[in-house]
Amino acid sequence: MARTKLILFTLSGAVAALAGVYVALKSNSVATDTGSGFELKVIAGVLLGGVSIFGGRGALHGVIAGVLLIAVLNSALQLDGQGSEVIQIIIGLLLVGSVIASNFLPRIRALLPRRAVALPATSKTPVNGDHTRKVAQ
């Protein structure tokens, strides 16, 4: 377990370093505030993708979908001529909505009545769990 954590943290650091090199090459400069403003978009994308804010639940395909949703929304609002303040407000509202929905949906589901699933009437499954067929002699 400790070795797995070490490998994962090392890979995470390597990917972060590659991302830093990419951003530095793309912008032709290095500054301490280069990544400022990305935090809200990244956190919103991850939480919209279904990752629990408390940890322990989430999937990579959901995170990719959430980040793509934020990127498309950001590009569409910029093409529409909206200012960065409006874009941050909309992304913040999506973030708050996803946190509220992830906290209240399980509670709402627990309050709703569950539908009973009817078993087929011709079921010949043995009650005692013995699935072997006994042949008459």
List, for residues 37-90, the tens digit of each pLDDT value.
Answer: 788 888 888 888 888 877 777 888 988 999 999 999 999 999 999 988 999 999
First to last CA, the chain: 56
How many CA within 13 A on the CB side of residue 72?
6
Task: Label residues 61-70 b or e (16+ Cβ within 10 Å = b).
Answer: ebbeebbeeb
- pLDDT score of 117 more than 80: no
The residue ranges of every structural domain in the chain are 33-111
- What is the model's pTM? 0.63
Which tokens in the block code for residue 27? 């912008």
CB 53 within 8 A of CB 99: yes
Q: Are 70 and 41 in contact (CB under 8 A)?
A: yes
Digit-coded pLDDT (tens) for 18-42: 998 998 898 888 888 887 878 888 8
pLDDT digits (tens, 9 = 90+) for 100-113: 887 787 788 788 88
Query: Helix, strand or coil for residue 15?
Result: helix
Write out the two tokens for 108.
Answer: 């709402």
Under DSSP, the state recorded for 74 is: H
